[in-house]
Structure 1
Amino acid sequence: MSEARKTPHVTSTPEPGMRSENDTSVGGLLRQLTQEVPALITKELALAKAEVSESVRATKAGAASVATGGAVLLGGFIVLLMSAVYGLSKVMEPWLAALIVGGVVVVIGLIMVSAGKKKFEASSFKPERTIHSVNKDKEAVRGHTS
């Protein structure tokens, strides 16, 4: 008997229209990629939306707190400024005392406003985790296609 008759050749190629469990051909990988990419994009968009929503919520809460504290602070600050003007008016003319106190307060206010503007940079609204995750996904896809 010949060797060909003893061991029949069995192919593991699936029938057309049927997928094997471990389809690692280029077509199979592309088919798998086209099925998984929409789900991945959907998840990344959901993450970005949640991250931006979280940033906006934190910014709103911070702004409300700052506004309330600022209103109370303003009342106390006005009383302190009036007492400074009154104290200086005992040493110099009242109009000059008011001018000096007002000038100092304006300079301090300008410094505080410029420092506060830096805290509202656009980078604080950037979805860092989503960008990192998308970059990881991009590198993973590049790794599998190389």
Structure 2
Amino acid sequence: MTADSPHRTGAGAQEPVGDLVQRASQQLSQLVRDEMRLAQAEMTEKGKRFGKGGGLFGGAGLVGVLTLQALVVTVIAALSLTMDVWLAALIVTGVLAAITALMAALGKQQVGKASPPTPERTMDSVKADVAEVKEKAQR
């Protein structure tokens, strides 16, 4: 065998290129599989944390609603020191109803501005681009 032969024997032996490519391919496949397992484990851990975080946010929302209810009762109790309890409750209920109506009207206005749920400006821009391309293609 010559010095530049792909198959050498002895202490300085090199593997054939095909064997090296095959081994590199196997190692790369194993590396990709290992990385995928690692990514899956990481995403599982993150998913658990997101679940716990979501549960805690939900609990905080519930406690926040209970806190607001306690605040409403406190306001009614404070007003009842100067007027009848029923009148204090009626005043607080009226204020809350007015806030609710205002928020609903503002919400409806915002939804109206968002309708229809299509990217109109982008669609108009694409139509203009298509028309310009057609015009240049006809020249």
TM-score if structure 2 supplies the norm length?
A: 0.47
TM-score if structure 1 supplies the norm length?
A: 0.45
